Structure 1
Amino acid sequence: MTENRAPVSAYFEPVGPARYRPTIRAQGAWNPGEIHFSPLGGLLVHEIDKHRMTQHGAVNTLRLGRVGFDILGFLAAEEIEIQVETIRPGHTIELIEARARIAGRTAAVGRAWFSAAGDTTAVAGGAPAPMPAPETCLPWSMRETWPGGFVESLETRVARPPIPGRATVWQRTGTVLVAGERASAHAAYIALVDTANGVAVRQRPTEWMFPNLDLTVHLHRQPLGDWVGLDTTVTFGSDGQGLTSTVLHDAAGAIGRAEQLLTVRPLGGAAAG
């Protein structure tokens, strides 16, 4: 990981074709030697976007509808290589896969479904009610609960004080995804979604571990603006599993949902395999 020098304006710095070095702003919360998955998820989508641009050019009528990530192990704060391929090509439906390789192994995989855009205004409906506007919400610091450079990079506002297992928060960042590169609105948005598992903690992370093994995002509308709204509920089961469920918003209203599977165990217990 690069040294902490101010200002750090990006989560990743390009070091070659599809190769990136994380900055201190990508630092994780569970371990200072790892990166947070949230910006890595955004980076995977960013590389998927670049791959699709080489295939389709600037004229592209497909919209991101779902992206599912599997986190395959420790995300070391080292150079990252992204490998992308088209799994299912098509003019109206397309599936793209991206793999992040760190320290010689595949550390995370993302698969994104795209589908054709069209005017469905006449039948639109069924979305949850909007969250209170960010401007009406109070500032709140996640740093009281979580350490790390990524958490430090976030501006957070709360509609009401979080309680264990429940939170309604807005987040945005002044840190760009990749230095010198412009990310799409959906890549920049997804780069903040994985924080949902940290905004409504049920137990203190100094006493319990509850890392997520995956992240699945479904969108019924494309995100707009800088703010990411997380209306989040966390459930712990009785046999070591949990689920973080989030209704996703932007400043105009609800745009989709996110789910994260958790492995729950006392701090100091057996590490995940």
Structure 2
Amino acid sequence: MPSSTAPRGGYFEPIDDHRYKPTPHASGAWDPDEQHFSPLGGLVVHAIDRHRAARPDDGLVLSRISYDILGRLALDECEIEVETVRPGRTIELLEAVVRIADRPVVRARAWFLSAVDTTAVAGGAEDRLTPPESLASWPMSDVWPGGYIASLDVRPVAPPRPGRTTAWVSTPLDLVAGVPVSPLASYLTLVDTANGIAVRQPPTEWMFPNVDLTVHLHRQARGTWTGLDTTVTFGPSGQGLTSTVLHDVDGPVGHAQQILTVRPLSGA
């Protein structure tokens, strides 16, 4: 686990039921005045959880969430509004919009599906990653600046390679300081880290931010570690793709995809 000297607190501080203030721990990698999207993605799930908690438990579970990043994520107060787009007893669709300075910056849609016992027919990939407790930490901040990256405990299964890395990620920080959040919100807080663990080119010379993140889950994750089995591909015309098999300590839980806009840094 992260050392006892790691920073304490959270990525966000609550202002009221819908507004949150990011802390310096949420600062981004290319610009310290911007938010890293990863904790904001977890905060969206927390807001969706709060929206659904106002109703009786219907037994539905989050099975897919897609985020579209609409603009610059300033390190400033954000407001999250959630609405039910498609209600249902076995399938439900919710939408969340994040606003900063009254401007929409993220739009997310989440599908919830009914949870039933399908143990008898469950099957698929069963390979587990090497447990994080047996692995050494990797100083990811040697590659990336920013408060978010500095807050992480990253433990690669093997030495990171350009375009290909498998690693565990954890954090000692709360998502929202002093506020309990669901295990899934905590888990998804770390998923967007995938685009930074297997860089194909130095981020001091190239930009490759993702404009979206889509997560599909075939099982609900548990534990405090997010496992990222990540491959990054750059195409020949300015687009890239980060593809990740998501794990918890029991094995695969789903997949994540991020489309990238790839371009050289000016003056590099």
TM-score > 0.5 by shorter chain: yes
Determine the structure 2 residue equivalent to 1:40. Answer: 40
One-letter amino acid of the counterpart of residue 191, structure 2: V
* Aligned residues between the structures: 262
**TM-superposed deviation, 1:8:** 4.1
Q: Does 1:209 align with 2:207?
A: yes
Please tell me whether residue 52 in structure 1 is matched to residue 30 in structure 2.
no
Q: Distance in 1 between matches of 2:34 and 2:220?
A: 30
**Which secondary structure state, in structure 1, belongs to the residue aligned with residue 29 of structure 2?**
coil
Matched residue of 1:138: which SS? coil
Pair 267,82 (structure 1): closer, same or farther in 2 beyond 3 Å: same
User: Segments of 4+ in structure 1 off by > 6 A?
Assistant: none
> Counterpart in 1 of 2:132?
134
Structure 2 contact 217–255 (Cα < 8 Å) conserved: yes
Q: Structure 2 counterpart of 1:238, which letter? A: P
Tell me which residue corresponds to 2:98. 100
The RMSD of aligned alpha carbons is 1.2
Query: Are 2:254 and 1:266 equivalent residues in the alignment?
Result: no
Instruction: Write the distance in 2 (CA, Å) between the matches of 1:8 and 1:105.
Output: 30
C-alpha distance in structure 2 between counterparts of 1:122 and 1:137, whole Å: 34
Q: CA deviation at 1:16?
A: 1.6
**Code of the aligned partner of 2:116:** G
Shift of residue 127 of structure 1? 2.1
1:8–1:23 Cα contact (<8 Å) kept: no
CA distances 1:149-179 after superposition (whole Å, capped 9, x unpaired): 1111110101100110000000101101112
Cα shift at 1:55: 2.4
Q: 1:164 aligns with which of 157, 162, 174?
A: 162
Aligned to 1:3: none
- CA contact 1:8–1:25 (8 Å) conserved in 2: no
Equivalence for 2:238: 240
Q: Report the CA distance between 1:89 and its aligned residue.
A: 0.5
- d(CA) in 2 for partners of 1:149 and 1:60? 38
**Among 175, 188, 191, which residue is 2:189 paired with?**
191
Q: Who is 2:28 aligned against?
A: 28
> Take 1:146 and 1:246, find their aligned partners in 2: how far apart are those partners?
20
User: Mind listing any 5+ residue stretches in structure 1 that lack a counterpart?
Assistant: 1-5
**Mean CA deviation greater in 178-187 or 201-210:** 178-187
- Distance of 1:63 and 1:28 partners within structure 2: 30
The Cα of 1:136 is off from its aligned counterpart by 2.2
DSSP-derived class of the 1:78 partner: coil
| Equivalent in 60, 75, 78 of residue 73 of structure 2 | 75
Which of 241, 249, 252 is the aligned partner of 1:251?
249
Residue of structure 2 aligned with 1:84, choices 82, 85, 89? 82
CA distance, structure 2, for counterparts of residue 209 and residue 110 of structure 1? 24
SS in 2 for 1:230: strand
Identity among equivalent positions (%) equals 61
How many angstroms does 1:104 deviate by?
A: 1.8
Check conservation: 2:7, 2:151, Cα contact below 8 A.
Answer: no
Contact persistence 2:58–2:89 (CA under 8 A)? no
Matched position secondary structure for 1:194: helix
* Secondary structure in 1 matching 2:63: strand
Q: 176-185 vs 239-248, which deviates more? A: 176-185
Amino acid at match of 1:76: A
The residue number in structure 2 matching 1:14 is 14
Deviation (angstroms), 1:109:
1.0
* Rounded Cα–Cα distance in structure 2 between residues aligned with 1:9 and 1:171: 18
Question: C-alpha separation between the residues in 2 aligned to 1:23 and 1:218?
Answer: 29
Q: CA deviation at 1:138?
A: 2.1
